[in-house]
Structure 1
């Protein structure tokens, strides 16, 4: 158990240094950027904006599923907009455990869901939580849009 935790700590430390170096040069510029503008959903549809603002757990996937199908993956510093039909939808992420969020999406509505990585037993655990537009505005500064999911070529 100690070895697993020690390996996890080493992996997190190894990824933190390059990420800090990448963001260090323009940290001031990123803090002044606005969150991405989100267009309204298409007529007759609703949408869910999934985002991952934290760089914590950079090696842990936050692959969002609905009904067993991958909706998209969500690396750190990215977001994607999922247009969907009105009604109840269940989205999940998983690593050593599965986290599920159930949303009722209404026509013309935009909902926001943040993926964060928490500590698990052996690896980090992705967690989906409903958020407000204000949270997306605050945490979404500098996020890049994720391209639509392309299957196996996305890793």
Structure 2
């Protein structure tokens, strides 16, 4: 009987690892209209992950070696950066990269996926067209750092207060906040 009990626990553990937990938060369809406006010279990188196997594996996503989020199942996040060339990376037992060109006013959609690996799933980063990505986003939960509330429109003044990375032509060291980053938080004169 103890062998049967051990098998049940093993089966339960396998189900938890394979299904994991889906991201929680407001859904894309509820907050998309509240995304902050892009500043001049900036573009947006939106990373999303559909559900599926390997949900317990939630690796970090980095843009030019700066941590920008985690690949949570059924979730998405975005960052705004100055137009230019960027390298998106993620790693488990292997490191995966995707090169992208960010243009002013445009959004680059990157789909995260997991394929089978020896010990841990291998991350996949696939740049998708808006025609492919946008229909997949509707039910995904927002997991990003920029505060978004379903049903509340953002004002242009609130957009200016959001951190959007270094100003075009300036590169802040990863993890450091500059005075330019904080200037948008000051009240208007």
Compute the TM-score of the two structures, normalised by the length of structure 1. 0.71
Tell me the residue number matched to 1:27.
none
Larger Rg belongs to: 2
Pairs aligned (count)? 131
- Aligned pair partner of 2:50 in 40, 49, 53: 53
Question: Which consecutive unaligned segments of at least 5 residues does structure 1 have?
Answer: 1-8, 21-29
Q: Deviations over 1:73-121 (max 9, x none)?
A: 1211110111011110001000000000000111111110000011111
2:85 is the counterpart of 1:88 = yes
**Deviation at residue 19 of structure 1 after TM alignment:** 5.8
Tell me the residue number matched to 1:5.
none
**Deviation at residue 36 of structure 1 after TM alignment:** 5.8
Question: Which consecutive unaligned segments of at least 5 residues does structure 2 have?
Answer: 1-10, 147-174, 176-189
Tell me the residue number matched to 1:124.
121
Compute the TM-score of the two structures, normalised by the length of structure 2. 0.60
SS class of match (1:48): strand
Q: 1:102 to 1:17 in 2, by over 3 A?
A: closer
Alignment of 1:1-155 (within 5 A): 12-16=14-18, 34=29, 37=32, 39=35, 40-148=37-145
Confirm or deny: 8 A CA contact 1:34 1:137 kept in the other structure. Answer: no
Q: 1:88 to 1:18 in 2, by over 3 A?
A: closer
Give the CA RMSD over aligned residues.
2.9
